[in-house]
Structure 1
Amino acid sequence: MVKSAAERKAAQRARQSATGTRKLELQLDQQEMVMLEQNCMARRPGRDPYDLNEYVTMLIRRDNAELQHLLKIVGHCGKCGDKAPVTSCPCVGEAACWVTNGWQELKLTV
């Protein structure tokens, strides 16, 4: 028996749910879209460009690897001694406190 479009879509959603795959809607302005498409091509010269999904997922994985590396080297809070990243500290507001200034080592910059 042939499945209807709704049945096929339901089966696809069930497969994705079983593997933990989630759909993400991303809103990009025209300039960001041009940059994304250019980068997909520039990162694979002479070959088929990266698929947009593939490129974005690789950026996420690359950023995660960089973050894990940073977390290993950022050290401890200069006041309470807790290992960074510290989410709360009784010394927040003091210059040596990681919550006050140290978190900036982890923030994304352009």
Structure 2
Amino acid sequence: MPKSPAERKAAQRARQAASGEKKLELKLDSQEVEMLAQNCAARRPGREPYTLNEYITMLIRKDAAELAQQLEELAKRQCGKCGDRLPVASCPCQGDSQCWATSGWLETKLNITP
């Protein structure tokens, strides 16, 4: 007997979960949706625009690569207070102006440049 639509959908969800895929819901305002659509097309001039999923997943992978490189550069430095290799996640000296844990996170946060 053929599977019902609900059974097929449940099987699809199970396959996706087994492969590590996760479905996310994303809330964007109209300006963000417009920027996203424009960027999907502008990144592939003369070709079919990226799908929203392709574009967002590539942004995630691009950011992960940039962050890995940034963390590799940070690892060459030490905290000015305790001498631990950066990045320091927690430190008993946190709060001291020389401690990287006090304000070092500013070096790794996402920035929007004009």
State the TM-score bracket (shorter-chain normalisation): over 0.9
How high is the sequence identity, in percent, across the aligned residues? 65
Counterpart mapping for 1:12-51 below 5 A: 12-51=12-51
Unaligned runs of 5+ in 1: none
CA RMSD between the two structures? 1.0
CA distance in 2, matches of 1:103, 1:22: 28
Higher relative contact order (CA 8 A, sep 6+): 1
Counterpart mapping for 1:1-110 below 5 A: 1-74=1-74, 75-110=77-112
Unaligned runs of 5+ in 2: none
CA distance in 1, matches of 2:37, 2:5: 31
CA distance in 2, matches of 1:18, 1:5: 20
The Cα of 1:96 is off from its aligned counterpart by 1.6
Moved over 4 A (4+): none
CA distance in 1, matches of 2:64, 2:83: 25
Give the AA of the match of 1:81: G
TM-score, with length taken from structure 1: 0.95
